[in-house]
């Protein structure tokens, strides 16, 4: 922990640039800007990040699931904090 306040932010496609500063080990692989934008632009996908002085240090990702016979739900695909 850095001792700095952590900011939590739900990203949209206009925030793709935030994924340019990611602490090593946060994601399994390097973030691809084209894939990141496509993920964020598909509004059934959610990506919430934890920021330490503008650097992504954690995240939770998920997909909104809608069914004709069930309430809307969110499937949390992955989360990590370094």
Residues 21-53: tens digit of each pLDDT: 999 999 999 999 999 999 999 989 999 999 999
Domain spanning 6-81, CATH architecture: 3-Layer(aba) Sandwich (3.40)
User: What per-residue confidence (pLDDT) applies to 2?
Assistant: 60
- Mean pLDDT along residues 11-27: 96
Please give the backbone phi and psi of residue 34, each rounded to the nearest 5 degrees, phi first.
Answer: -65, -45
- 21, 11 Cβ separation under 8 angstroms: no
Q: How far is CA 69 from CA 44, 66, 72, in A?
A: 18, 9, 9
- Indicate the domain borders of the chain: 6-81
Percentage of residues in the chain having pLDDT higher than 90: 82
Res. 80 pLDDT band, cuts 50 70 90 = low
Q: Is the pLDDT of residue 1 over 80?
A: no
């Amino acid at each position: 922990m850095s001792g700095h306040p952590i900011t939590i932010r739900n990203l949209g496609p206009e925030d793709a640039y935030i994924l340019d500063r990611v602490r090593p080990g946060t994601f399994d692989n390097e973030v691809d800007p084209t894939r990141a934008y496509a993920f964020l632009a598909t509004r059934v996908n959610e990506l919430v990040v934890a920021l330490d002085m503008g650097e992504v240090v954690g995240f939770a990702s998920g997909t909104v699931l809608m069914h004709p016979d069930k309430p809307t739900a969110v499937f949390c695909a992955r989360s990590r904090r370094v």
